[in-house]
Protein backbone atom coordinates (compact mmCIF):
# COMPACT_ATOMS: atom_id res chain seq x y z
CA UNK A 1 0.00 0.00 0.00
CA UNK A 2 2.86 2.39 0.81
CA UNK A 3 4.49 1.88 -2.56
CA UNK A 4 1.21 2.22 -4.45
CA UNK A 5 0.22 5.38 -2.58
CA UNK A 6 3.61 6.93 -3.13
CA UNK A 7 3.75 6.12 -6.82
CA UNK A 8 0.26 7.49 -7.28
CA UNK A 9 1.49 10.86 -6.08
CA UNK A 10 4.48 10.88 -8.41
CA UNK A 11 7.18 9.96 -5.88
CA UNK A 12 9.36 6.89 -5.91
CA UNK A 13 9.78 4.78 -2.78
CA UNK A 14 13.26 3.32 -2.29
CA UNK A 15 13.81 0.78 0.47
CA UNK A 16 16.92 0.50 2.57
CA UNK A 17 20.04 -1.53 1.98
CA UNK A 18 19.87 -5.31 2.29
CA UNK A 19 21.30 -5.57 5.80
CA UNK A 20 18.09 -4.22 7.36
CA UNK A 21 16.00 -6.91 9.01
CA UNK A 22 12.26 -7.03 9.48
CA UNK A 23 9.42 -4.98 8.13
CA UNK A 24 9.81 -2.24 10.78
CA UNK A 25 13.41 -1.65 9.78
CA UNK A 26 12.50 -1.66 6.11
CA UNK A 27 9.72 0.85 6.65
CA UNK A 28 11.89 3.01 8.89
CA UNK A 29 14.45 3.24 6.09
CA UNK A 30 12.01 3.85 3.25
CA UNK A 31 12.92 7.03 1.45
CA UNK A 32 10.91 9.29 -0.77
CA UNK A 33 13.02 10.28 -3.76
CA UNK A 34 12.02 12.51 -6.66
CA UNK A 35 10.99 10.58 -9.74
CA UNK A 36 13.40 12.74 -11.73
CA UNK A 37 16.63 14.27 -10.39
CA UNK A 38 16.53 17.10 -12.90
CA UNK A 39 15.55 19.76 -10.40
CA UNK A 40 18.34 18.79 -8.02
CA UNK A 41 21.01 18.72 -10.72
CA UNK A 42 20.06 22.01 -12.26
CA UNK A 43 17.88 20.42 -14.94
CA UNK A 44 15.07 21.99 -16.93
CA UNK A 45 12.61 24.26 -15.25
CA UNK A 46 9.45 22.58 -14.05
CA UNK A 47 11.14 19.53 -12.55
CA UNK A 48 9.80 18.70 -9.11
CA UNK A 49 12.22 19.41 -6.25
CA UNK A 50 12.90 16.77 -3.63
CA UNK A 51 10.40 17.00 -0.77
CA UNK A 52 11.39 17.61 2.81
CA UNK A 53 11.34 14.09 4.19
CA UNK A 54 11.82 14.38 7.91
CA UNK A 55 12.73 16.92 10.57
CA UNK A 56 16.28 16.60 11.79
CA UNK A 57 15.14 15.96 15.33
CA UNK A 58 13.78 12.49 14.62
CA UNK A 59 14.01 9.82 11.92
CA UNK A 60 10.83 8.80 10.10
CA UNK A 61 8.74 6.48 12.22
CA UNK A 62 6.80 4.70 9.51
CA UNK A 63 9.02 4.91 6.47
CA UNK A 64 7.46 7.82 4.70
CA UNK A 65 7.51 11.53 4.94
CA UNK A 66 5.08 13.12 7.32
CA UNK A 67 2.26 14.41 5.18
CA UNK A 68 1.29 18.01 5.58
CA UNK A 69 -2.15 19.25 4.76
CA UNK A 70 -2.50 21.08 1.49
CA UNK A 71 -2.63 24.81 2.05
CA UNK A 72 -6.11 26.22 1.91
CA UNK A 73 -6.81 28.80 -0.75
CA UNK A 74 -9.45 31.41 -0.07
CA UNK A 75 -10.61 33.92 -2.61
CA UNK A 76 -11.25 37.35 -1.15
CA UNK A 77 -14.29 39.12 -2.50
CA UNK A 78 -13.08 42.37 -4.07
CA UNK A 79 -14.76 45.60 -3.04
CA UNK A 80 -16.65 47.29 -5.87
CA UNK A 81 -14.58 50.02 -7.46
CA UNK A 82 -15.92 53.55 -7.26
CA UNK A 83 -17.31 54.81 -10.54
CA UNK A 84 -15.30 57.71 -11.95
CA UNK A 85 -17.03 61.10 -12.06
CA UNK A 86 -16.11 64.44 -13.57
CA UNK A 87 -14.62 65.36 -10.16
CA UNK A 88 -12.56 62.14 -9.91
CA UNK A 89 -10.67 61.61 -13.16
CA UNK A 90 -9.73 58.05 -14.04
CA UNK A 91 -6.06 57.24 -13.33
CA UNK A 92 -4.12 54.73 -15.39
CA UNK A 93 -1.53 52.71 -13.46
CA UNK A 94 1.32 50.63 -14.84
CA UNK A 95 1.76 47.36 -13.00
CA UNK A 96 5.17 47.05 -11.33
CA UNK A 97 7.42 43.99 -11.26
CA UNK A 98 6.11 40.89 -9.51
CA UNK A 99 7.39 40.53 -5.97
CA UNK A 100 10.37 38.19 -5.61
CA UNK A 101 9.57 34.70 -4.39
CA UNK A 102 10.46 33.97 -0.79
CA UNK A 103 13.51 31.71 -0.38
CA UNK A 104 12.65 28.07 0.11
CA UNK A 105 13.11 26.77 3.64
CA UNK A 106 16.15 24.77 4.69
CA UNK A 107 15.50 21.08 5.09
CA UNK A 108 17.09 17.72 5.85
CA UNK A 109 16.43 14.69 3.66
CA UNK A 110 17.05 10.97 4.10
CA UNK A 111 18.51 9.47 0.90
CA UNK A 112 19.96 6.25 -0.42
CA UNK A 113 22.38 5.51 -3.22
CA UNK A 114 24.34 2.52 -4.49
CA UNK A 115 27.99 2.49 -3.49
CA UNK A 116 30.21 0.73 -5.99
CA UNK A 117 33.03 0.40 -3.47
CA UNK A 118 30.80 -1.42 -0.96
CA UNK A 119 28.51 -3.11 -3.47
CA UNK A 120 25.36 -2.12 -1.58
CA UNK A 121 22.96 0.72 -0.94
CA UNK A 122 24.04 3.24 1.66
CA UNK A 123 22.02 5.94 3.36
CA UNK A 124 22.93 9.52 4.09
CA UNK A 125 21.34 12.60 5.57
CA UNK A 126 21.41 15.73 3.46
CA UNK A 127 21.06 19.31 4.69
CA UNK A 128 20.01 21.78 1.98
CA UNK A 129 20.24 25.45 2.99
CA UNK A 130 17.44 27.97 2.72
CA UNK A 131 16.95 29.17 -0.85
CA UNK A 132 18.29 26.04 -2.53
CA UNK A 133 15.05 25.45 -4.47
CA UNK A 134 14.40 29.10 -5.29
CA UNK A 135 17.95 29.93 -6.47
CA UNK A 136 18.29 27.56 -9.43
CA UNK A 137 21.54 29.05 -10.71
CA UNK A 138 23.41 29.12 -7.40
CA UNK A 139 26.02 26.48 -6.61
CA UNK A 140 27.15 25.50 -3.13
CA UNK A 141 30.20 24.27 -1.25
CA UNK A 142 29.84 20.92 0.50
CA UNK A 143 30.72 19.82 4.02
CA UNK A 144 30.92 16.09 4.80
CA UNK A 145 30.38 15.27 8.50
CA UNK A 146 31.31 11.78 9.73
CA UNK A 147 29.75 10.23 12.83
CA UNK A 148 31.46 8.39 15.66
CA UNK A 149 31.40 4.75 16.58
CA UNK A 150 28.62 5.03 19.14
CA UNK A 151 26.48 8.04 18.19
CA UNK A 152 22.93 8.08 16.93
CA UNK A 153 19.30 8.40 17.98
CA UNK A 154 17.86 5.68 20.16
CA UNK A 155 21.24 4.23 21.08
CA UNK A 156 22.07 3.26 17.50
CA UNK A 157 25.79 2.63 17.27
CA UNK A 158 27.63 4.20 14.35
CA UNK A 159 24.68 6.14 12.94
CA UNK A 160 24.38 9.14 10.65
CA UNK A 161 21.72 10.53 12.99
CA UNK A 162 24.47 11.63 15.39
CA UNK A 163 25.17 15.09 13.93
CA UNK A 164 21.49 16.08 13.73
CA UNK A 165 21.28 15.16 17.40
CA UNK A 166 23.83 17.89 18.13
CA UNK A 167 21.67 20.47 16.37
CA UNK A 168 23.83 20.91 13.29
CA UNK A 169 20.98 22.02 11.03
CA UNK A 170 19.66 24.56 13.53
CA UNK A 171 23.18 25.96 13.96
CA UNK A 172 23.72 26.06 10.19
CA UNK A 173 20.43 27.91 9.67
CA UNK A 174 21.37 30.57 12.20
CA UNK A 175 24.95 31.09 10.99
CA UNK A 176 23.97 31.23 7.32
CA UNK A 177 21.14 33.67 8.00
CA UNK A 178 23.52 35.88 9.99
CA UNK A 179 26.10 35.80 7.19
CA UNK A 180 28.70 34.17 9.43
CA UNK A 181 29.07 31.18 7.12
CA UNK A 182 28.29 30.69 3.43
CA UNK A 183 25.21 28.74 2.39
CA UNK A 184 26.52 25.19 2.41
CA UNK A 185 25.24 21.70 1.62
CA UNK A 186 25.98 19.32 4.50
CA UNK A 187 26.22 15.56 3.89
CA UNK A 188 26.11 13.07 6.78
CA UNK A 189 26.85 9.57 5.46
CA UNK A 190 26.34 6.24 7.16
CA UNK A 191 29.63 4.62 8.17
CA UNK A 192 28.71 1.94 10.72
CA UNK A 193 31.74 1.13 12.95
CA UNK A 194 34.25 1.11 10.12
CA UNK A 195 36.70 3.86 11.14
CA UNK A 196 35.87 5.18 7.65
CA UNK A 197 38.74 3.21 6.11
CA UNK A 198 39.31 0.67 3.38
CA UNK A 199 39.71 -2.32 5.64
CA UNK A 200 42.60 -4.77 5.47
CA UNK A 201 42.50 -8.24 3.94
CA UNK A 202 39.90 -7.37 1.32
CA UNK A 203 37.40 -5.96 3.78
CA UNK A 204 34.76 -3.32 3.01
CA UNK A 205 36.11 -0.15 1.43
CA UNK A 206 34.46 2.53 3.55
CA UNK A 207 37.09 5.12 2.69
CA UNK A 208 36.60 4.81 -1.05
CA UNK A 209 32.84 4.78 -0.53
CA UNK A 210 32.93 8.24 1.06
CA UNK A 211 35.75 9.97 -0.81
CA UNK A 212 34.85 8.63 -4.25
CA UNK A 213 31.32 7.19 -4.48
CA UNK A 214 29.63 9.66 -2.14
CA UNK A 215 31.38 12.73 -3.55
CA UNK A 216 30.48 11.63 -7.07
CA UNK A 217 26.85 11.06 -6.02
CA UNK A 218 26.54 14.49 -4.41
CA UNK A 219 28.20 16.33 -7.28
CA UNK A 220 25.98 14.59 -9.84
CA UNK A 221 22.68 15.06 -7.98
CA UNK A 222 23.08 18.55 -6.49
CA UNK A 223 24.23 21.99 -7.54
CA UNK A 224 27.65 21.88 -5.91
CA UNK A 225 30.87 23.68 -6.72
CA UNK A 226 32.61 20.45 -7.73
CA UNK A 227 36.22 21.16 -6.84
CA UNK A 228 38.63 20.57 -3.99
CA UNK A 229 38.61 24.05 -2.48
CA UNK A 230 34.85 23.92 -2.01
CA UNK A 231 34.83 20.62 -0.08
CA UNK A 232 35.57 20.05 3.60
CA UNK A 233 35.36 16.95 5.76
CA UNK A 234 35.07 16.61 9.51
CA UNK A 235 34.12 14.10 12.12
CA UNK A 236 33.61 13.38 15.79
CA UNK A 237 35.53 10.63 17.64
CA UNK A 238 35.89 7.77 15.11
CA UNK A 239 34.77 10.27 12.48
CA UNK A 240 37.74 12.49 13.37
CA UNK A 241 40.08 9.59 12.53
CA UNK A 242 38.28 9.16 9.21
CA UNK A 243 38.16 12.86 8.32
CA UNK A 244 41.91 13.40 8.79
CA UNK A 245 42.82 10.16 7.04
CA UNK A 246 40.56 10.72 4.02
CA UNK A 247 41.74 14.31 3.60
CA UNK A 248 45.31 12.97 3.42
CA UNK A 249 44.55 9.93 1.25
CA UNK A 250 42.46 11.94 -1.23
CA UNK A 251 44.36 15.24 -1.48
CA UNK A 252 42.59 16.31 -4.68
CA UNK A 253 39.16 15.94 -3.05
CA UNK A 254 39.20 17.91 0.23
CA UNK A 255 40.74 21.26 1.15
CA UNK A 256 39.92 21.26 4.87
CA UNK A 257 39.57 18.67 7.62
CA UNK A 258 38.40 18.82 11.21
CA UNK A 259 38.77 16.29 14.02
CA UNK A 260 36.57 16.76 17.08
CA UNK A 261 37.69 14.59 20.02
CA UNK A 262 39.32 12.31 17.46
CA UNK A 263 39.69 8.65 18.34
CA UNK A 264 43.30 7.85 17.38
CA UNK A 265 44.01 4.29 18.55
CA UNK A 266 47.27 2.45 17.98
CA UNK A 267 47.08 -0.55 15.69
CA UNK A 268 47.45 -2.99 18.60
CA UNK A 269 44.46 -1.47 20.36
CA UNK A 270 42.21 -1.32 17.33
CA UNK A 271 39.96 -3.74 15.46
CA UNK A 272 41.31 -6.62 13.38
CA UNK A 273 40.57 -4.80 10.13
CA UNK A 274 43.42 -2.36 10.92
CA UNK A 275 45.60 -5.14 9.48
CA UNK A 276 49.40 -5.26 9.64
CA UNK A 277 51.65 -2.47 10.87
CA UNK A 278 52.42 -1.45 7.30
CA UNK A 279 48.77 -1.43 6.26
CA UNK A 280 47.66 0.51 9.31
CA UNK A 281 50.41 3.10 8.96
CA UNK A 282 49.28 3.75 5.38
CA UNK A 283 45.75 4.56 6.61
CA UNK A 284 46.35 6.06 10.06
CA UNK A 285 46.05 9.89 10.13
CA UNK A 286 48.84 10.30 12.68
CA UNK A 287 51.34 8.55 10.40
CA UNK A 288 49.96 10.16 7.23
CA UNK A 289 50.26 13.70 8.62
CA UNK A 290 53.86 13.04 9.70
CA UNK A 291 54.97 11.12 6.60
CA UNK A 292 53.48 13.56 4.08
CA UNK A 293 54.17 17.02 5.55
CA UNK A 294 53.91 18.95 2.27
CA UNK A 295 50.48 17.44 1.66
CA UNK A 296 49.42 18.17 5.23
CA UNK A 297 50.46 21.82 4.87
CA UNK A 298 48.10 22.19 1.92
CA UNK A 299 45.14 21.42 4.20
CA UNK A 300 43.26 23.72 6.56
CA UNK A 301 43.26 21.67 9.75
CA UNK A 302 41.30 21.84 13.01
CA UNK A 303 41.71 19.77 16.19
CA UNK A 304 39.77 20.06 19.44
CA UNK A 305 39.27 17.93 22.52
CA UNK A 306 37.73 18.23 25.97
CA UNK A 307 40.13 18.78 28.85
CA UNK A 308 38.38 15.99 30.81
CA UNK A 309 38.21 13.59 27.85
CA UNK A 310 39.78 10.37 29.14
CA UNK A 311 39.35 8.62 25.79
CA UNK A 312 40.93 11.05 23.32
CA UNK A 313 42.76 13.87 25.11
CA UNK A 314 46.21 12.24 25.41
CA UNK A 315 46.35 11.09 21.79
CA UNK A 316 44.91 14.35 20.44
CA UNK A 317 47.38 16.45 22.43
CA UNK A 318 50.20 14.27 21.10
CA UNK A 319 49.01 14.86 17.51
CA UNK A 320 48.81 18.61 18.17
CA UNK A 321 52.42 18.59 19.41
CA UNK A 322 53.53 16.47 16.44
CA UNK A 323 52.01 18.98 14.03
CA UNK A 324 53.78 21.81 15.83
CA UNK A 325 57.15 20.03 15.56
CA UNK A 326 56.56 19.33 11.87
CA UNK A 327 55.65 22.94 11.16
CA UNK A 328 52.11 22.10 10.01
CA UNK A 329 49.67 24.94 10.65
CA UNK A 330 46.44 23.97 12.37
CA UNK A 331 43.80 25.33 14.71
CA UNK A 332 43.87 23.73 18.16
CA UNK A 333 41.33 24.01 20.99
CA UNK A 334 41.13 22.30 24.36
CA UNK A 335 37.88 23.26 26.03
CA UNK A 336 36.30 22.10 29.29
CA UNK A 337 34.32 18.92 28.79
CA UNK A 338 34.60 15.22 28.15
CA UNK A 339 33.87 12.68 25.41
CA UNK A 340 30.14 13.33 25.47
CA UNK A 341 27.35 14.65 23.25
CA UNK A 342 27.05 17.69 25.53
CA UNK A 343 30.61 18.74 24.62
CA UNK A 344 30.10 18.43 20.84
CA UNK A 345 26.70 20.09 20.93
CA UNK A 346 28.19 23.03 22.82
CA UNK A 347 30.76 23.57 20.05
CA UNK A 348 28.87 22.72 16.87
CA UNK A 349 28.72 26.40 15.91
CA UNK A 350 32.50 26.71 16.41
CA UNK A 351 32.96 23.80 14.03
CA UNK A 352 30.67 25.28 11.40
CA UNK A 353 32.44 28.64 11.58
CA UNK A 354 35.77 26.93 10.91
CA UNK A 355 34.41 25.00 7.91
CA UNK A 356 32.60 28.07 6.63
CA UNK A 357 35.81 30.12 6.76
CA UNK A 358 37.71 27.35 4.99
CA UNK A 359 35.09 27.02 2.27
CA UNK A 360 35.04 30.74 1.55
CA UNK A 361 38.54 30.26 0.14
Give dist(CA 279, CA 328) in Å, integer: 24
Domain presence at residue 73: no
* 10 domain-assigned: no
* CATH code of 228's domain: 3.40.50.1820
Residue 110 domain boundaries: 103-359
Provide the number of structural domains found in the chain: 1
Q: Is the residue at 316 inside a domain?
A: yes
Give the pLDDT confidence of 245-264 residue by residue, as tens digits. Answer: 999 999 999 999 999 999 99
Whether 53 shows a pLDDT value over 90: the answer reads no
**Residue 198 — φ and ψ, nearest 5°?**
-75, 115
Considering only CA atoms, which of 194, 112, 183, 211 is closest in space to residue 158? Answer: 194
Task: Report whether pLDDT(79) > 70.
Answer: no
Q: Is 205 part of a structural domain of the chain?
A: yes
Q: Are 28 and 61 in contact (CB under 8 A)?
A: yes
Contact 253, 211 (CB under 8 A): yes
Is 243 part of any domain? Answer: yes
∠ CA 205-41-50, rounded to 5°: 90
Residues ≥6 apart with Cβ < 8 Å to 199: 205, 206, 273, 275
Per-residue pLDDT, averaged over 33-61, amounts to 36
How far apart (Å, rounded) are the C-alpha atoms in residues 244 and 262?
9
**Domain annotation covers residue 326:** yes
pTM: 0.75
Query: According to the model, what pLDDT value does residue 150 have?
Result: 87
Amino acid sequence: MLALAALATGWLVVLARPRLQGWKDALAAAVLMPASPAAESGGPAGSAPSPALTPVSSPPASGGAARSAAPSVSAATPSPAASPTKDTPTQLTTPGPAPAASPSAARVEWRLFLSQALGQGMSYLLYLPAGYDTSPTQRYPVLYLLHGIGGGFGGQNGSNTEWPGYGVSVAANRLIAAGETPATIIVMPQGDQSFWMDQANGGPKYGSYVAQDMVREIDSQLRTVPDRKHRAIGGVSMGGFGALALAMLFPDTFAAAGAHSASLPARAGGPAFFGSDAYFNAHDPVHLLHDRPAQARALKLWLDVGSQDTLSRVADEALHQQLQRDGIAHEWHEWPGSHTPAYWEAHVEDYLRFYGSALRG
